[in-house]
Amino acid sequence: MRDLVVDTHSVVWYLSQDKRLSRRARDAFIKAIAGYGHIVIPSIVLVEMIFLAQRERVNRDIVKLVLDLPEDPAKGIYIYPLNKDVVQALSHFGPAAIPELSDRIIAATALHLGLPVLTVDPVIQASRLIQTIW
């Protein structure tokens, strides 16, 4: 198992047991929880989840679950902050490659950490700026 950065879809779909989550993605979460890798949740994912919950597109209980996760890399699943290093990584690609800012921040987090992104997003996948898994 490898360490992975995850996007909003994968977190929400995993926690809601949505059938759209790929088997590979589900296995990555299960292995991280069991201690065989790390799932890195960029802090922008929390922002997106709150935005979606306010529009009643995501269950608020799922948002609370994620908000209660530690910001501790020693844990299997943890929140990674939007920091100066991630912001600097944003300069490696712009809106032509990944138009949506939150997706660019997720990709920049992965680029900064040197990790692949677990995503179903076709734009992130097509950018080929970072490795993606689905």
The stretch 39-60 carries a mean pLDDT of 96
CA distances from 84 to 3, 44, 133 (A): 21, 14, 26
Q: What is the mean pLDDT of the chain?
A: 92
Exposed / middle / buried, residue 25 (Cβ in 10 Å: 0-12, 13-18, 19+): buried
Task: Enter the pTM of the model.
Answer: 0.92
Q: For residue 77, what pLDDT is reported? A: 87
The stretch 17-21 carries a mean pLDDT of 95
With CA atoms as reference, report the closest residue to 93 among 129, 49, 48, 134. Answer: 129
Beta carbons within 8 Å of 37's beta carbon, 6+ residues apart: 1, 2, 3, 4, 28, 31, 76
Residue 118 bridge partners (DSSP): 6, 133
Q: For residue 2, what pLDDT is reported? A: 82
Dump pLDDT digits (tens) for 72-110.
Answer: 777 788 899 999 999 999 998 888 899 999 999 999 999
pLDDT-based confidence at residue 1 (cuts at 50, 70, 90)? low
How far from chain centre, in Å, is Cα 78? 10
* Domains and their CATH numbers in the chain: 4-133 (3.40.50.1010)
The stretch 17-44 carries a mean pLDDT of 92
Dump pLDDT digits (tens) for 63-77.
Answer: 998 888 877 777 788
